[in-house]
Chains A and B, each alone.
Chain A
Amino acid sequence: GENVEQHPSTLSVQEGDSAVIKCTYSDSASNYFPWYKQELGKRPQLIIDIRSNVGEKKDQRIAVTLNKTAKHFSLHITETQPEDSAVYFCAATPRGFGNEKLTFGTGTRLTIIP
């Protein structure tokens, strides 16, 4: 089955700086890579996702890049703000092949320092 590794486990950045979280996956059939944000005491929510037929996707201050050859993908947050403080989870799945389950990374606790 799929195995997803996520680094770092904790990350602190100054407000206004950029943050990068990296994930690697093992199953070359995986084709869908979402990122979830979980604020303290709240449910995880999808913030951005990417499919294997594109290399990069942006949505305002967040972007995700995918390197299929190396089997890794990354979340980039620019101009960080205090409300970006949360735990972020990456995930991967070979979606569309009758397999709908996501395999999650272990999470990154991001702290934005004012």
Chain B
Amino acid sequence: DVKVTQSSRYLVKRTGEKVFLECVQDMDHENMFWYRQDPGLGLRLIYFSYDVKMKEKGDIPEGYSVSREKKERFSLILESASTNQTSMYLCASSLWVPMGSLDAGYTFGSGTRLTVV
């Protein structure tokens, strides 16, 4: 019963290529997130979105952009891939939580391991 699906488990791309990472969730969550995971650095937020067509920069947005045309889909775009973007990319989604309500937590996808050569 996979609820957050990332389109590719492994990707190998060349330097300078435009790369699309896709994420789809079937839980009708408002919030969607893209993190990258690197050893010793944990999970760092790249971009997130609270609603369709909305996006906000996270802590490390440089070199990335995102698109959210439909509620269930959140795409991460590497405009011109570079070797320092070799990483594990994790998508997550969560419910919008009104103040005082129970917290739902994130549901993560399985990740996409991107190698840029």
Binding site for B on A (CB under 8 A): 1, 6, 9, 32, 34, 36, 42-46, 49, 51, 89, 95-97, 100-107
Contact = CB atoms under 8 A, between A and B. Distances in A.
**B interface bracket (residues with beta carbon within 8 Å of A):** 20 to 34
* A contacts with B: majority SS: loop
Interface string B103-117: 101101111000000
B58 A101 contact: yes
Nearest to A34: B105
A46 B110 CA distance: 14
Interface in B55-114: 58-59, 90, 94, 96-101, 103, 105-106, 108-111
A43 B100 contact: no
A106 B41 contact: yes
B32 to A, nearest CB: 10
